[in-house]
Structures are given as structure tokens and as C-alpha cells.
Chains A and B, each alone.
Chain A
Amino acid sequence: MIAFDALLKKLKPKCDEIIAQYEQPRSALLPLVHLFQQHEGYASSEAQHAIAEMLALSPAVVESTVSFYTLFYRRPIGKYMLQVCRGLACTLNGAEDIMAYFREQLGIGHLQTTPDGLFSYEEVECLAACDRATCMQVNLNFVYDLTPQMIDDMLAAMRAGKYSVAPLAQTATPPRTWMPVQDGEVARGDKSDGAQDQPAPNNPGGLDRDGVIMLDRIIADEARFKGRTRERLANVEPALADAIEK
């Protein structure tokens, strides 16, 4: 907290300068978050509260806004943010192999940070460098025409502290991910047992664990699914039905 107060004091004149650029103070929200994130490595809760105070907004409004933008991190991230493009043009030119290579070399997946706090890895949407596919950004600096050899050299240089792009500020230890919910969890269908896969209009409940369409299961297994809950329980789990009765 003392460290943050010192930072706030240091940045205050710059903040006032940014706010003065706009007819309405709230417009300065994004630039201010950028500013604090540049110094802290992420948009800390303290920073968000300080910004809320400066702009006379509720902290909830600031957090809601910050949460909308993918370049704002509400939890600490690694010193090198590796953002590999997964856009169409890059995919046509082998981005999936590049991404697989990164995952393998780093030992982490999409939206994760290595345990040593050095690397954060994210697969991002089109970075507007399709003429030099496959591409990526390291701390928002472009790297083009990626090859496994380049990745090896890059990671080695970063580990040795000799990479051409400066590391990000890091004021706190990063957790495994900076995202509250991971994209991958949804795509993999990590949901309740009942709906393991895609519910769809003609496919209620999706597929269950055995790969059987839920609707088919219901039709095939009458005893288990027909009738009222209590009656079904009496058939399948008499003990449980009794317990509820009591």
C-alpha cells in the first residue's frame, strides 16, 4: 500500500494532464488504466480505486469498464506477455503449429503464466500483420514470420535477460491465469455432468459423458427418465427416495 501511495503521488501530475485533454473527465479512464498498468504490470485494485476517485466514478464502474478490454489485466501477469496471432491469415500459414510449439516449450496453455512468473501466453485475434504471417506480439512489439528456431532463440534470450524488448513491470507474483474464466473451459465443455457437450435446438442436453445424445438416452432409458422425479427415484435410487420422503 505504501508503494502504491508513492506511485500515485508520482503519477498524479501526469494523470491531471491526461484528464485535462478531454471535455469530460471520464474519457480519461482508458488512458489512466494504461498508465497505471505500465507502472504496475497490471491494473491493480488500488489503481482502479484511485482512478475511480480521480474521475468521480464508482469503483464498480471502473472495474466493469476495465473488464471489457482484453489488454487490461486485473491480475498480475508475466514479465513477457507473448501474444500469438490466431487470426485466419496466420492460421492459413501454420499458426496452429506455432501455437502448439509455444505451448510445448513454455509448458503452459492459452491465458496462462509460467510458475516462475516470466512468461504469460495468450492466443489473440488478428493483429493486423497478415502480410508477415505467422506473427505475434511480445509486450505489444511485433515479431513477424515466426519459425520454431526463432521461438527457441527468443525464449532463450528472454530467460537470459538479453531480449531486445524490455520486460514488463512486475509488482506482484502472478497467479496461474489472469482471467476469471478461461475461454478453453467453455470450448472443451467443462460443464456439469448433465450437459457435457453442446446443447442445441434439435439436440437438447447435448452429449453425455459416453458420447450419447441426451435425448436418445432419455428415450432409450425409460425407467430412469419417465415420470415424476419421486417415482423415478423410487425406481433407481429407492434409498434416496425414502430419505426424501422422511
Chain B
Amino acid sequence: MPVTKVLTQGIGEADLRDMKVYRKRGGYQQLERAFKQMKPADVQSACERSGLRGRGGAGFPTGKKWSFLPPEIRPRYLVCNCDEAEPGTFKDRMLLEETPHLVLEGILLGAYAIESHHAFIYIRGEFKRGYEVFMEALAQARKAGFVGKGLFGTKYDLDVTVHRGAGAYICGEETALLNSLEGKRGEPRLKPPFPAVQGLYSKPTVVNNVETLAYLVPILEHGPQWFASVGTERSKGYKVVSISGHVKNPGNYEVPLGTPMRELLEIAGGLRDGRTLRAIQPGGGSSACIFEEHLDLPYDYESLAKVGSMLGSGAVVVMDDTTDFVRAAFNLVRFFAHESCGQCTPCREGGHWLERVLHRFLENRGLRSDMEMLARVSHEITGINLCPLGDSIEPFLASVLKRFPEQFESRIARETFHAAQRDGH
């Protein structure tokens, strides 16, 4: 079993919320080493050489993202994205609640690497406990002199501000998050300019996921080669995978990227007794389903992209033969319709139309033409919006429509009635 413990080390064994415990296990040593012995460029280079890719969903190489910062413009900001709300994902919440000092150390390292003196963490509004835990950790760290003015005897000032969201999935999109952080409606911005050039307060800004930043700590500890030696050619290192749905032991499991899907299923205890696998959503609500024939696929960015799905945020939702896929499709389409910010017409209108058509199926009132229409409308609203939210509707819906058409067909109703109407009876 390839379950590893890097970020998840110590969770469940010790109270890592206590700074003393965290430090006893080596916590904040990498931060101190970075400030005392390394230049920001060294940290940046370590990150780049490790091959670390963004763990929030897009999988963009972190070192490369940092390299887009224009060298001459200051101040720069680092924003840690903890607005975790992708259906099926619950890794960032665990990291925030269970090991807040690791998250903070990652943020501080990231900020130092890009020479930022003010870092932010945007915490999802629903994570009240996570917010309280992190505030306490921040207070402890501030007291110990890890946050504030003149860190570790250097002239480097670094402050961290905690910002609570207020219930909006779209604020996980980086430009929407920045708008929300600026006190505006959480509506995504037109890109370019990308945040690296014009982000928070129109200044160069890097937005990184909680897990991404947390991995900086072990990467510095064990060296970039250690991280790069794990995983596949283009998907390096470890990943915290949130497995849920119809499995015996749902939970967060940290594995090397490239672990076969079949093993992931086994790690989570496998399917419940007497059930058979129908579908797996491998990367959160925005990803297309994969099926039994894909079980030998390695769990990495490229392999999943090759079969038309994606790794996304690492949320694996397992569905067995008791699953009603019309209901599942309705559920996810309703989610995206509900969370659409409303700026772009295709996403705002299309989502609700699809939701209503699927609702019709749920009431056994589907029309013969609806199936083709679901596929067409979801496809047509893809790729023409400011942000990827509208594009997220199609993958799951299209994959289950194609795979389980009988579940939709069985809910087409009153064909004879409609035919009679057309014939004028």
C-alpha cells in the first residue's frame, strides 16, 4: 500500500495545533534555515526543481507561476487559497484544522520565496473552526517571532492577514478570490492581465493552494530531488487525495502521484460488500467520470487528461451500482448553476436551463429530444466564459449521458401523449 505521510505526518497522533508539539517534530526549522541561510531565489529554485504543481485544481507548475512576477514592481503579495469548496474535496480543511502551523510555515516560505512582505490566507466562510484554529496558530507564531518585523534577526518584515470568505464557491477562482479580498463581489476578472502581473490592489500577486504551499516545507527539508524522485515523469511528488462516496473507509489519503486507481480504491477499503463499481469522479465536481476499464490508470495529471478527465483538486468520488446517475448529474449541475456568479450569460443561463431540464427527468417527464439537448447545451456553454466554472458543467454530465443513457431514457415520459397532440387529437 503506497500510503505515505508527508503533510499528514503526525495528524491523529499528536496535537499539531500546539506550536510546542509542532516545533518538537522539526516545525519552523525550514523557515529559520531559509531566512538565515537561503536567498529567496534559492527557495524559488528548490520549488522549481522539485517539479511541484499547483494542488488546487489546475496543476500549473508552481515555480513557473512564481517566475511570471515582473521583477521590478513592488510590493508583491502572496495569497494562500483556502476557499476549498469543490464537491468531494476536503483536504485543505483537514490541513487547516489539524496542522495549521505547517500551513502557516508554507505560507511564510512562499512569501519569502517571492519576496513578499504581506501574505494573506483566504479561508472559506464555512470553515469557522479552521479559522479559529489558524488564528490561534498565527497568534502563537507571532509571539514566537515567526511573523512580524525583522524575522530571525534579518531585516525581513513579513505579516500575514487572515481573511474569511462568506459562502461563494467561485471565490476559489483566483481572480474572484482577489476581488473578494478587495471587498468586492466575488466575480472573476478578465485575464490577462494575470494576477502575477496585476493581482491584489493591481500589484503582482501569487495565489497558491494550501496544499501546494504546505509541500514547500518537506521539499526544503528533504531537498527537491527527493520530491522529484517520486511520482511520474511530469507529475512529481505526493498528493493528498480525498476519497468519498460509496467506499468503506472514506477519508484523506496521501499517496505518490501515479498510484493506480485500483490501489486508491483499496486504500479506502474498497467498495461496500456486494456492490459493483459503476463510475469514479477522479478530480472533483468539475471532472468527467472514469469507469471500470480505467482502474489500472495511474492517478496523475497526464493519464487522467488522456482519457478526457482530470486530476483537479484530488477529490475521488466513488459511485457503485446503487447510484442514480440522473440524480447525480442533476446534483452537480444544480451546484454549478447555484454557484455561477452571473457575469457571463452562457454560464448563468445555461446552468439553470440544464438544471430545469434534468429536474424534468427526475419527475419522469423527460422529452426524447432532451438528451441530445443536454449534451449540446452543456457543450455550447463551454469555453466561452471568463472563468472555468461554466466549463465545469459539461464533463460529468456528458460522461454519464454517454455511459448510462438507459437511466435517462427510462425517464422519458408520455411519448404517446405528445404524439397524439402533434397529430391533432
Chain A residues within 8 Å of B, Cβ to Cβ = 21-24, 26-31, 33-34, 55, 64-65, 68-72, 86-89, 91-93, 124-133, 137, 140-142, 183, 186-187, 189, 197-198, 200-203, 207, 211-213, 216-217, 219-220
Whether A128 lies near B360 (C-beta < 8 A) is no
A87 touches B185 (CB 8 A): no
| B86 proximal to A (CB < 8 A) | yes
- Whether B129 pairs with A220 at a CB distance below 8 angstroms is no
Q: A111–B181 Cα gap in the complex (Å)? A: 27
**Which residues of chain A have C-beta atoms less than 8 A from B124's C-beta?**
128
Query: Which size bracket describes the interface of B in this complex?
Result: 35 or more
Q: Identify 5 residue pairs between A and B in the complex whose beta-carbon atoms are under 8 Å apart, listed by A's number.
A: A24-B183, A55-B183, A68-B186, A86-B331, A126-B335
Flag if B424 contacts A29 (CB, 8 Å). Answer: no
A24 touches B356 (CB 8 A): no
Minimum C-beta distance from A26 to chain B (A) = 4
Tell me, rounded to whole Å, the shortest Cβ–Cβ distance linking A166 to chain B.
12
Main secondary structure of the interface of A (DSSP, over half): mixed
A residues less than 8 Å from B139 (CB atoms) = none
User: CB-CB < 8 A to B244: which residues of A?
Assistant: 89, 130-131, 133
B87: which A residues are within 8 A, CB to CB?
87-89, 125-126, 130
Q: Which residues does chain B contribute within 8 Å of A33, judged by CB atoms? A: 166
Which residues of B does A touch, CB under 8 Å? 84-90, 92-93, 118, 124-129, 161, 163-169, 180-187, 201, 242-246, 250-252, 281, 285, 315, 317, 319, 323, 327-328, 331-332, 335, 338-339, 341, 352-353, 355-357, 359-360, 365, 367, 369-370, 373, 377, 414, 417-418, 421-422, 424
Give the distance in Å from the alpha carbon of A87 to the alpha carbon of B284 in the complex: 11
Bound-state CA distance A213–B368 (Å) is: 13
Q: Is the CB of B161 within 8 A of A21?
A: yes
User: Would you call A220 and B166 a contact (CB within 8 A)?
Assistant: no
How many A-B contacts at CB < 8 Å in the complex?
181
A28 to B181, CA, bound (A): 8
Q: Which of chain A's residues have a CB closer than 8 A to the CB of B353?
A: 198, 200
Pick the contact of B85: A88, A125, A133, A211 (CB < 8 A).
Answer: A125
Q: Are A30's CB and B163's CB within 8 A?
A: yes
Given contacts A140-B128, A220-B424, whether A30 and B418 have CB atoms under 8 Å apart is no
Min Cβ gap B421→A in Å is: 4
> Which residues from chain A contact B181 at a C-beta distance below 8 Å?
27
Contact between B421 and A92, CB atoms less than 8 A apart: no
Contact of A130 among B317, B323, B367 (CB under 8 A): B317
